[in-house]
Amino acid sequence: MKSVLFLFSVFISTICFSQEALSTANGKIIVDIFMNGYQVGDTLKMKSVMHPNMTMQRAYLSNEQENVLLYIKSSELLKYAATTGKAQVWEEKLTDYIVNSDGNLAHVWASYEFYKDGKFSHCGANSYTLVYTDESWKILNIIDSVRIGSCHKE
């Protein structure tokens, strides 16, 4: 009887503490919600998938060929999206999604191509770290790379 009770309690605790892994489809949906909100300046849409403590960084090579890591506050990102998103004609095409997850931690890697006024500008990759909260999966960190001139575009 004790072994049956023990197995039952292990089964119940496994169900209670497990959550569904982040699928590629769901990772793509979360990232697309964020990016669509960013492009049109809809900060409410962006916030719906952002963790309250989200951070952002940008890695790029300066004109002097020095590696630069820029730290961006989420409040600055939201302000930029709200004021600039509607005024500029740009598109960031995400070309691939690679999703990995373990428990309440997930990672989405998305290569991109950036177009301004319909013309190719640069490329890079976005790296999203997501955490599972009491509500849902939320973006905790974004770091992106910017490559100018080293993209294989025609």
Give mean pLDDT, residues 114-123.
90
Stated pTM of the model:
0.82
Which pLDDT does position 152 carry in this prediction? 65
SS3 9: helix
Which pLDDT does position 86 carry in this prediction? 63
| Rg of the chain taking only CA atoms, in angstroms | 19
- Alpha carbon distance 55, 141 (integer Å): 5
Strand pairing partners for 21?
none
Domain segments of the chain as ranges? 23-146
Q: In the predicted model, is pLDDT for residue 87 greater than 90? A: no
Give mean pLDDT, residues 131-148.
95
Q: In the predicted model, is pLDDT for residue 18 greater than 60? A: no
Class of domain 23-146: alpha beta
Yes or no: say if 51 and 37 are a contact pair by the CB < 8 Å rule.
no
Which pLDDT does position 151 carry in this prediction? 80
